[in-house]
Every structure is written in structure tokens, then in C-alpha cells.
Structure 1
Amino acid sequence: MRDFQLPGRSPVRSTGAMVATSHPLSTQAALDILRTGGNAVDAAVCASAVQAVVEPQSTGIGGDCFVLYCAGGSDKVLALNGSGRSPAAASIDSFRAMGLDAVPTYGPHSVTIPGAIDAWDRLVRDQGRMTLAEVLAPAIHYAEKGYVVHDRVAFDWAEAAGLLSDDEASTSIFLRDGQPYAAGDLHIQARLGATLRTIAEQGRCGFYEGRVAEAIVARLRQLGGVHTLEDFAATACDYVSSVTIDYRGFRVHQMPPNNQGLTALLMLNILGEDKISGHDPVGAERFHLLVEAARLAYRERDRRLAEIDRDGPVVETLLSKDYARRLHSSIDRRRAMTDLPEFEFRRSDTVYISIVDQDRNAISFINSTYHAFGSGITCPETGVVLQNRGSSFRVDPEHPNALAPSKRPMHTIMPGMLTRDGRAVMPFGVMGGDYQPMGNVHFLSNVLDFGMDVQAALDAPRVFHSEGVLRAERGVPAETVDQLTALGHAVEEALEPFGGGQAVWIDWEKGTLTGASDSRKDGMASGF
């Protein structure tokens, strides 16, 4: 239980249903869907669509999504890969012929075909109770009538002002007199609202064929992209099998590659060799083990993960307890490792949604355009912001994540699901680009190793190692920072918070739900 004399928030508790998102309007819209006969799937797509409007820096219909779903609260996890592919004309040779020795971070060559709308449409048709038009109605309302910009949204929006100013359509929609919208401002996206109406009427065809697709492709090709209408028409999500490990008596589920979820599972296997619960949860010993396990797991991610075989040797190795045990043996409790490669931290702006409905259908849902405002390109006729997920590709033909025609890139956004004894226990997720495996593991360990409630587990101070520096949020105790420094970590204060997350815990014995939404974002959990 939290100290009520200190700032913070309590977890939200209910018996009927629970929604946790990173934006109040999204949470409220999803609850309305549940109250009017929709299920967790309908509510999640509704919430994601609302956030595509009210969190335009974080997500959009020009991006991708991944889903883990447990119908009726069972432990049978349905996984849906809604990530798009590179254009069929994209290749290392074609990029090099254009003078590119890397995939650009922004611009047309960073844009992969958006997969979200195809996944939303498929999920609602296969698993929902309502029509796509019904679940998109709140998003259409906020796009056409306007919404008030919230504080964390404004914080991220301001950081992307330079990117937005480089694109005429982005400038006209997301800047006012050359300045980003601020907290408390009213923002309207009429062209996006019209596009959502088309999708509501026509389903996926309203996005991947006809007027909308033609406008998006024309804009990309005008800028030098190689995208075609055939690339859009061919977009299709896939039902896949989750990858799993056991941790502290629970089963942890993540998406398989092309997703980076395996990174978190490898971390958990490494940490499973320790009795972490004996440490101070915000102490140097615990953070040192967490960071070193992360550095080992991220090394494997960067070497191996891409669009690879779910049942192939790479996945088998990274899920192996023996392999994790070998990695764990390389951790020195007295000193930070000095022989690991460093990687550049890439932050993304993403939305994660956790919902459990009255029938205990549990969904873990994540949607993103990758970096803030994605590629920086907005289609002027449709109001669609296009993702820059293609920037994850490599141009090294020997690397598994090498750019190739019609290929999915390695993806950072990762929904999680916890099950036990034949039942779903918790849909959960932590946003934040490269931080996500670290965030998911830190959160889970807070719950399963230290017995924190889900809100306290999300709110706990965070650290992350990248580019040779261990960055610590201001909530990390000064004594812990000093001790981590003594262990050889180059510790600096984090310039901004790490990630954000949501979770809903199902207590089957008591018949209750406990929801949480990360205080680092604007959102909230709410139920009935």
C-alpha cells in the first residue's frame, strides 16, 4: 500500500470491467463501448482509434499494431501481428542506387505500409460484437469536433516541432503560427475525421484501396518513395503463436519475431537464476542485476531478431533456460561488464491498452507510428501521419534484419500477457521504443518478485542503459546512484521519463479487477 502522505495514485478496483489507457478520453470511450454491449476487442480498437486522434504524436492509422487476446479469460492466447511490410520495390541495391547507405530515420524511405487498419478490421470482424463503424464513432467525433490537448501529449508534441515544420501538410495540421499546440489548446483534424468515416463505411478497403490509398501513395511517390497501390492492397495481418517462458510460477507471453518480445523473455530467464526478492527494489544490487541482464539480452536482440521463423533455431536458443544460465554466469555482481557492445537508444511514442471485460475477455493491445509523428510525413488529403518503422531495417545484407522487398522490420512495440493455471491473469505493457523489454521486465519483477500492486509497480523509478551511460530517473535514491557508480556504471540523470504503461490484474478467487495507468502519461484506469 502506498504512503498516502506522499504524491501518487491508488490502483483502480472493480468487479465488472476495467480499462487502462494512456489518455482519459480513450479510457472513457472504451468504457462506453463496454457498457453498450461491446467486448474487450471492440473497446480496445475504439480506444486505439481515439488515441490516433488525441495522441497524434504517439500513434495513428498510418502505423502498426500487435495484439494478445484471451477469450473468456482462458490461457489460450490469440496473437495478431498487425505490422506492415516494406514496399515491394525496396531493396538494399535500390537504396544504394539512390545514394543511401542506411535507411533514413525520417522521410519517404522510412515508411513501411501501415498495418493497423487491416488488423483493426480483422479483429473486430473475427472477435468483436460491434461493427467497425460503431467502434470508430468516438474517434470520428474527436477528429471533427476537436479535443483538448493534454499535458504529456503537449510535452512530446513540442519536441517534434522541428520535424513537423519540414513537411507542409504536417505544418498545416499540427503547428499553429509555426508553433506546436500547447496543453489546454483545442485541436481539430477534420481531414483525418473524413478518412475515419470512409474506413467506418468501407472497412479495410476504405484505407488500402480507392481514394485514401491513392492519395497516400501519390504523396509518398511525390517525395521519392517507391510505394505502390499494390503494396497497400496486399497488406494483411497474421494470426501467430505467442512465445512464452515460465517466471515465478506464471506463464509470460510475448509476440514472436518480427517483434522484440523475445528480448524480455530472455531477460526474465536470466533474472530467474537469482532470488531478486531479497534485494531492495530501488537499491543498487537489484538495478545492477536488471541492467546487466538487459545489456546481455539486447546484445542478442541486435544480433538475431528480425522477421524470422517462429519455430526456428534462434527462437529456440533465446527461450532456452540453459542459454540464459550461461549468460547469467557472465554477470559480475561487483562490477559492470565492460565487454558488451553499446547501442543507441531509440525512443518511440506509442500507445498501449489493457482491457478486461465483463466476460473476462482480456486484451493486450499496442499501436504506434514509431517516432513522434512517425516519418514526419502527413498526407494532406487524408490527414494520415505515416510511420517510420522502416528505419529499423539494416542495409547489411548479412544481417537478419536486412532491408528486403515486402519484408516486416524488427518491431519494438510489444504487448504482454500473464497466465496461470489455465486462466488469464494480466494483460500488461510498457511503452517506450527500445526501452520496452527493460520496462516490461522491470514492471513484472516489481509485481512478481516484490509483491507491488500494479500501480506501484508502474510508478516505481526506472533506469536504462544505452550508449555507455546508465540513465536514472529522478526518483532513484541518491544512495543508489552512488552505489551504481561505484559498481562502474556511468550514471546520469534521465532527461525525460522512461516509457509509460498499463495493466489489469484479474483476481479470480475474489472476482475483482485491479487496473493501473502509468503516472508518466496523461492516462487513467477506470472500471465498473
Structure 2
Amino acid sequence: MNNVMPRAYRFMVTSPHYLASHVGSLVLAQGGNAIDAAVAISAALAVVYPHMTGLGGDSFFLIYSAEEGKVIGLNGSGRAAKTANPDVYRSEGLARLPDRGVRSALTVPGMVDAWWEVWSKYGKLAWEKLLTPALEYAEKGFPISRDLHGWMQRDELLLRADPVLSELFIDPLTNELKSEGARLVQTQLAESLRSIISGGRDSFYNGALMRRIVDAVRKDGGILAEEDFRSHRCDWVEPLSVTYRGKDIYQMPPNSQGFSLLMMLNILETINLEGIPRHSAEFYHLVTEVIKRAFSYRDMYLSDPDFVSVPIEQLLSKELATQLSAQIAFPPNQASPFHSVPMGQDTAYAAVVDEEGNAVSFIQSLYYDFGSAYVAGDTGIILQNRGSYFSLDDTHPNVLAPGKRTFHTLMPGMALKDGKPYLLVGTQGGEGQPQTQLSIITGVMDYGYTIQEAIGLPRWVYGRTWGEESDRLKIENRELGKEIERLEEWGHEVDAMSSWDGIMGQAQGILIEDNGVISGAADPRGDGFAIGW
């Protein structure tokens, strides 16, 4: 399960699908910059990774502009429909929003607008050149990958329930799921991509394609309307940052959960990890207790800052980190209680560094695997169910409201050293995203691993990612039996997972060394690939 880690001086691309990585490398070879490559990769992933992302989803971008010498963020998440409010659903006798189906698709997809925004501001190549590879994969097909096929098997009933998804993924001759390696052609999606190539973002938010989406949603009982698409906009935002071991760590601001990782790093920085082996029970105990404390504040405050006040300055203060660190029983080691809420995780993260010094860390998602599991009419577009995470409780900070953005798990990461990109990192995983980034960052900065080694370390996830009923601590068990027993003695409820378990998600990363060598890594748990030269 150990991938080769490419090293290069000029460019580096990494993504969760080898075809998307290839697309990004071609764009760079044709004279594009990191932003061009990121848009092309993102579009390709929307085709070849339909269980994790698509045109009907959201995306977030962290961009280091070499010309400007700074990091800037783009929030490409969509807002709830203008007719969305808790009463609409409570009147139907619901205590929570539907997880699947057209009624769960209540936020506008933000990704296409995000492509247009980052390309308009920073891109070099023509718009159609960036999206044409995705169109070709949709029109001519590609082999079904290992990861996609695994999720097809898990979600077979959902795929069969939607006529478009059934036609895509079920072999008409055998009435069985198409096999791994079979050609997947998405003709309707290709037509939607062709419309976006010719008409730009307006075709999706104010044109014929938008009307086809809305007409289908309305016909099938959904609430997204023309005005919701027409009024959509992405927002350029100032990223959040803290220092950790002398590096500047950047994350997206709310409605992203990125600040939870920054809180974790602040707490960990108060603790000397030199005497704590990475594979020890002490390490897993410590990070789990750190995670619980950061998540308690995340769940208390995180929502759309246009609707809810999020005290970011206080949350990211070193003073609060010191207080929280003092609460951790270490030693003696004793688990503290915490109960997380269930959330989805379907996500695709990728990163690019170019010869000019630009760097892009970006992530996109449909929320659950195959999103809402609903395709809008004949568009081939699977709509996200991100809005299903809204609460129907009027006292909750993340309560549903018209035009509101929900608590978002997406959180691309970037670290700067001496003002220049040093580490780009991100992953799948809902609850697991900040935890996996914590594992990789500490692996590189505290334990001296390469980026590939850090991604390959035994991982853990605490909480209810993938909609789990339990928030037990799950650890990849690579000869960690005795350490797991010690954790249980200290009060942790632990599940020993397989050595390379899919529940840990798929991470990608790029590390830039002082001598200019760029290392790229893709997660051996997935279908990813890093390409550099």
C-alpha cells in the first residue's frame, strides 16, 4: 500500500483520481498555471468521481498568488432556497431534514461559479480548454475505478431507485451493477458540460441549463427555484491562520469547519510531542482529547457568519488553547465524554503547485456519497444534499433559513514557511477532515515523515463520519493491539479497523522543501496519483 512519492522542481499535481491528475499535468504542460490546472482537475473529478463530487455540488479554494504574495480563499458553497424554512418541513411531520431525494437538495450548487471566479481572477488559458477534458471523459467514457465501484456496491439500492442513475450504473443485459473497469459514459452530463463551456457560468445560473434543472426539481417536488440560482454568488474571503511549530497554517473561515483544526493545533502546540511515539496509545489518547474539545466549540458556534456571530478571535486565541490543554488528563490518561452529531463525507481534495510559485489547495463535494441520489431531469447532474445538514431546531446556530449557508465540512489546508507555500493538504471525511489533516501535519512537522509517509500513517477518526450511529474512536490496526487495549483501559471506546480502511477517507498532499524540491503524495486508500516534473 505504499505509493511512489514523485519529486520535482517545476510542477506538482495530486488528486484522488489518476485521470484528473493527468488532466492537471497536461494543462500545466500547455502553459497554464496552477489555477488553470485546478479548474481542469475539478471539472474532471466532477465526471470521473461522481460518487464524491459533481456539477451539483460545492467547492472551496485556497490560493497562494505568487504575484500578490498572499493566500486568498474562495467560498464556493451554495445557499438555501429562498422558500426554505423549518416550518416547510415541520409541517410535513419531520423532525429533521430528509437525507436523500429531491427534498434534500435545497441548496444551490456553488462549484461551477467557483470555477468561473478563480479562472476569471487568476487563469491564463481559455475557459473551454480547461473543461474540454472533462467533457471528453463524460462523452467518450472512462473505466470505473476501484473506489467508485466500491461505492456503487454500497449504494446499489439508491442507484436503482433513480432512473438516470440506474441507467448509468446498472448493466441492462444482466441487470447487475457494471463491473470495475467497465466503461462509464455520461451523455447527459456531457451535454450540460458543453452548455457550460459555451455559455460560461451564466448558462448554469441564468440560462437554459438552469431552467432545465429547476423545471425538473419543481416537477419532482423540490424547492430550488430560478431566483435561487440567479442570486447565487461565490465569496472571496480572508483565510484564517495560526502559527504551529514556526509555520503559518491557513484554513477557510466559517461556514467551513476549518477553524476546528486550527484550534487543535493551538492546543497541541502547548504540548511537547518529542517524548510521545506516533504509534503509541498516549498519542491517540492525546489527539482524541484535543479533537473533542475543538469539536465542542465547533458544534456550539459553526454556521453561516452572515446569520450567526462566530467568535473566531476568541476561538483561535492561544489563551483558550492553554485553558483547553489544561483540561486534558495526560497523564494520568483518562477519556472524557463527548457526543458528536452524524454527518456525511463524500469529498474530493486536490492540490497543484506551478513553476511561478502559485499554489492551489481545493476541495469539492456532494456531501453524502452520490449526494442526494437525485439527478435533475435530463441534465445528468446529481444534486448535492448539503442542505440536509441544517437543523430544524430554532435555537440551533445551524437552523435552516432562506438564503443561508449551512455548517460545511469542506476545508482545504495550506501551510506557509517564511511566507512561501510549504504544505498543501486535504482529505475526504466529514468529521475526519480536520483529524486527518492533524495526523498529516503532525506527521510532517513533529515526527519528520515525508508527505507520502505522513499520509500513509495509521489513521484514526473520532465521531460520526459517514453517518455512523456511534462516535467511537476508530483506529487503523497495524499491530496496534496492545495500544488499543491501553486506550480502552483509559475509558476510550475503540473500534480496531482494517489496516487501510476506507472510512479514513482519501488524503492528498504536496510538500515544498527549502531546496526547492516539491514532493507530491496521493492516498493509497484511494485511486489517486501525484504527477510532477
In structure 2, the CA distance between the partners of 1:311 and 1:371, relative to structure 1 (3 Å rule), is closer
- The corresponding residue for 1:17 is 11
Matching of residue 172 in structure 1 with residue 163 in structure 2:
no
Counterpart of 2:143 in structure 1: which amino acid?
Answer: V
Residue of structure 2 aligned with 1:278, choices 275, 278, 281? 275
Cα distance per residue 1:293-346 (max 9 Å; x no partner): 111111111111001169955211210111111111111123433443x12443
Q: CA deviation at 1:16?
A: 1.0
Give distance in 2, aligned partners of 1:32 and 1:43: 8
Residues 432, 499 of structure 1: 8 Å contact kept: yes
Q: CA deviation at 1:474?
A: 3.0
Give distance in 2, aligned partners of 1:87 and 1:368: 19
Give distance in 2, aligned partners of 1:235 and 1:309: 15
- In percent, how many aligned pairs have the same letter? 37
- The corresponding residue for 2:508 is 502
Counterpart of 2:170 in structure 1: which amino acid?
Answer: L
- The corresponding residue for 1:410 is 407
Give distance in 2, aligned partners of 1:157 and 1:365: 25
Equivalent residue runs for 1:78-477 within 5 Å: 78-111=72-105, 112-177=107-172, 178-308=175-305, 314-333=311-330, 334-340=332-338, 342-466=339-463, 467-475=470-478, 477=480
Q: CA deviation at 1:468?
A: 4.3
Q: CA deviation at 1:75?
A: 5.2
Residues 436, 460 of structure 2: 8 Å contact kept: no
Counterpart of 1:174 in structure 2: which amino acid?
Answer: F
Give distance in 2, aligned partners of 1:468 and 1:79: 31
Give distance in 2, aligned partners of 1:171 and 1:117: 25
Q: CA deviation at 1:41?
A: 0.6
In structure 2, the CA distance between the partners of 1:145 and 1:313, relative to structure 1 (3 Å rule), is closer
Deviates further, 100-109 or 369-378: 100-109
Residues 158, 181 of structure 1: 8 Å contact kept: no
Give distance in 1, aligned partners of 2:528 and 2:245: 30
- The corresponding residue for 2:466 is none
Return structure 1 stretches of 4+ with deviation > 4 angstroms. 309-313
- The corresponding residue for 1:68 is 62
Residues 9, 455 of structure 1: 8 Å contact kept: yes
Counterpart of 1:234 in structure 2: which amino acid?
Answer: S
Matching of residue 524 in structure 1 with residue 529 in structure 2:
yes
Cα distance per residue 1:191-219 (max 9 Å; x no partner): 10111011001100111122211121122
Q: TM-score, normalised by structure 2?
A: 0.94
Q: CA deviation at 1:113?
A: 0.6
Residues 281, 450 of structure 1: 8 Å contact kept: yes
Equivalent residue runs for 1:37-76 within 5 Å: 37-72=31-66, 76=70
- The corresponding residue for 1:3 is none
Cα distance per residue 1:437-488 (max 9 Å; x no partner): 1111111011111011000000101112223421111336222212212221
Consecutive unaligned residues in structure 1, runs of 5 or more? 1-6
Residues 301, 310 of structure 2: 8 Å contact kept: no
Residues 335, 490 of structure 2: 8 Å contact kept: no
Q: CA deviation at 1:173?
A: 2.1
Counterpart of 1:87 in structure 2: which amino acid?
Answer: A
Residues 83, 408 of structure 1: 8 Å contact kept: yes
Consecutive unaligned residues in structure 2, runs of 5 or more? 464-469
How many matched pairs? 520
Q: CA deviation at 1:500?
A: 1.2
Q: CA deviation at 1:85?
A: 0.6
Q: Partner of 2:431: helix, strand, or coil?
A: helix
Q: Partner of 1:351: helix, strand, or coil?
A: strand
Q: Partner of 1:369: helix, strand, or coil?
A: strand
Residues 427, 507 of structure 2: 8 Å contact kept: yes
Q: CA deviation at 1:9?
A: 2.4
In structure 2, the CA distance between the partners of 1:208 and 1:405, relative to structure 1 (3 Å rule), is same
Residues 3, 522 of structure 2: 8 Å contact kept: no
Residues 347, 427 of structure 2: 8 Å contact kept: no
Give distance in 2, aligned partners of 1:408 and 1:197: 29
Give distance in 2, aligned partners of 1:450 and 1:10: 20
Equivalent residue runs for 1:484-503 within 5 Å: 484-494=487-497, 496-497=501-502, 498-503=504-509
Give distance in 1, aligned partners of 2:216 and 2:308: 39
Counterpart of 1:485 in structure 2: which amino acid?
Answer: E
Give distance in 1, aligned partners of 2:308 and 2:86: 27
Cα distance per residue 1:119-162 (max 9 Å; x no partner): 10111111100122110011000000000011122112221212
Residues 250, 413 of structure 2: 8 Å contact kept: yes
In structure 2, the CA distance between the partners of 1:165 and 1:313, relative to structure 1 (3 Å rule), is closer
Deviates further, 486-495 or 316-325: 486-495
- The corresponding residue for 2:481 is 478
Q: Partner of 1:521: helix, strand, or coil?
A: coil
Residues 343, 389 of structure 2: 8 Å contact kept: no
Give distance in 2, aligned partners of 1:312 and 1:321: 20
Q: TM-score, normalised by structure 1?
A: 0.95
Q: Partner of 1:277: helix, strand, or coil?
A: coil
In structure 2, the CA distance between the partners of 1:241 and 1:25, relative to structure 1 (3 Å rule), is same
